[in-house]
Amino acid sequence: MRTVKVADVDGRATLVRMSDIAVFPSSMSSPIPDEPPVSENTHSHPRSLTSLPDILSCLSLYQSEEAELSNSLSELLSSREPILASLSRLQDLLPHLDNLLVDASLLSEKVSSTAQTAQRVGGRVRSLDEEMRRVRESGERVGQVMELKVISLSLSLS
């Protein structure tokens, strides 16, 4: 078996057996039918690499990305404490919010009841106003009739 000594992007030397390297000609289809699409800012798909330096370079890039993601994940996990503290404060507020909801519901019922009463009273006040208007009109007519009787009586006496 033939081995080749290669250096990756970081300058580390690695021995690789030639039998361990699989190279696919460009005319050959990938053994995986649904390859993920390669976007502009990502690396080449590993199955499209054709030389050992390309493979090692890509491997190094993937390792760098893995380290970055690992660091990012560590930062996210370390920032978990403030999030948990905020969540705990929010959970402490839940009973108060539930009480406010009950109070608001009771107040809404009272206001609704008061509004219905006000609507009924308002309707009755409008009815009374209409009756008062009719009584005033009747009083005016009675006054006019009395004036006419006085005039009629004074004409009959004259």
Are the CB atoms for 52 and 16 separated by under 8 Å? yes
- Residue 140 inside a domain? The answer is no
- Residue 17 inside a domain? The answer is yes
- The residue with tokens 């009771």 is 106
pTM of the model: 0.38
Q: What is the mean pLDDT of each run of 10 residues along the chain (158 residues)?
A: 48 50 42 42 69 86 91 84 88 94 95 95 95 96 94 88
- Residue 152 inside a domain? The answer is no
- Residue 114 inside a domain? The answer is no
Distance from CA of residue 14 to its chain's centroid? 52
What is the maximum alpha-carbon separation in the chain?
A: 155
Angle between helices 52-78 and 80-157 (to 10 degrees): 60
Residue 1: domain span: 1-21+47-63
- Residue 14 inside a domain? The answer is yes
* Count of domains for the chain: 1
- Residue 59 inside a domain? The answer is yes
Report d(CA 139, CA 28) in Å as an integer.
111
Question: Structure tokens of 141?
Answer: 């007519």
Report d(CA 123, CA 117) in Å as an integer.
10
Residue environment code for 4-34, b if the CB has 16+ CB neighbours within 10 A, otherwise e: eeeebeeeeeeeeeeeeeeeeeeeeeeeeee
- Residue 139 inside a domain? The answer is no
- Residue 158 inside a domain? The answer is no
